[in-house]
């Protein structure tokens, strides 16, 4: 399995974050895992990276149902970031939602490559890694 430099996990549920972080670590997919508890904080982080002229995470795992700014709100803002920064960042939705409408809507964003149902498992991480390589 290839090794990523950086993964960003965006979810408001702390327990969910705890579990997912553990799973990702044990899968050893990335050198570094950042966790943000809202879309707003994730955007803040990305903007800091842009300002520091650093490259962004290769993958963002994004929850949909979050207060203040939900996953789609984050994606709208994400699309406004400089193209030079966002190109190459793959987004995978990570949600408890089973709504077909939300799946469809997610794939309308060009950076979204996967729609994963919680809980995250080693198998799901492997499939995601495959998609990222493709």
Residues found near other proteins in the complex (CB under 8 A)? 12-13, 15-16, 18-20, 22-23, 26, 37-38, 65, 67-68, 96-99, 118-121
**Residues 79/86, Cβ–Cβ less than 8 Å:** yes
Residue-wise DSSP of 108-122? TSTTEEEEEESSP-H
DSSP state of 1: -
Report the nearest approach of other proteins to the CB of residue 90 (Å).
Answer: 22
Q: Pick between residue 86 and residue 118 the one whose CB is nearest to other proteins.
A: 118
**Beta strands in 11-53, from DSSP E residues, in sequence order:** 30-36
Length of the chain: 134
Report the nearest approach of other proteins to the CB of residue 21 (Å).
Answer: 11
Report the nearest approach of other proteins to the CB of residue 59 (Å).
Answer: 19
CA distance 112 to 115: 8
Q: Pick between residue 105 and residue 118 the one whose CB is nearest to other proteins.
A: 118
Q: Pick between residue 19 and residue 49 the one whose CB is nearest to other proteins.
A: 19
């Amino acid at each position: 399995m290839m090794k990523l430099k950086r993964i960003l996990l965006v979810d408001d549920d702390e327990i969910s974050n705890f579990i997912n972080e553990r799973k990702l670590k044990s899968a050893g997919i990335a050198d570094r895992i950042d966790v943000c508890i809202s879309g707003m904080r994730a955007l803040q982080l990305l903007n800091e990276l842009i300002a520091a002229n650093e490259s962004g995470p290769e993958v963002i795992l994004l929850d949909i149902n979050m207060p203040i700014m939900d996953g789609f709100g984050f994606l709208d803002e994400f699309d406004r970031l400089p193209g030079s920064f966002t190109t190459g960042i793959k987004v995978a939705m990570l949600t408890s939602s089973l709504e077909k409408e939300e799946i469809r809507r997610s794939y309308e964003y060009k950076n979204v490559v996967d729609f994963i149902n919680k809980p995250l498992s080693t198998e799901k991480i492997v499939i995601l890694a495959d998609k990222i390589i493709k």
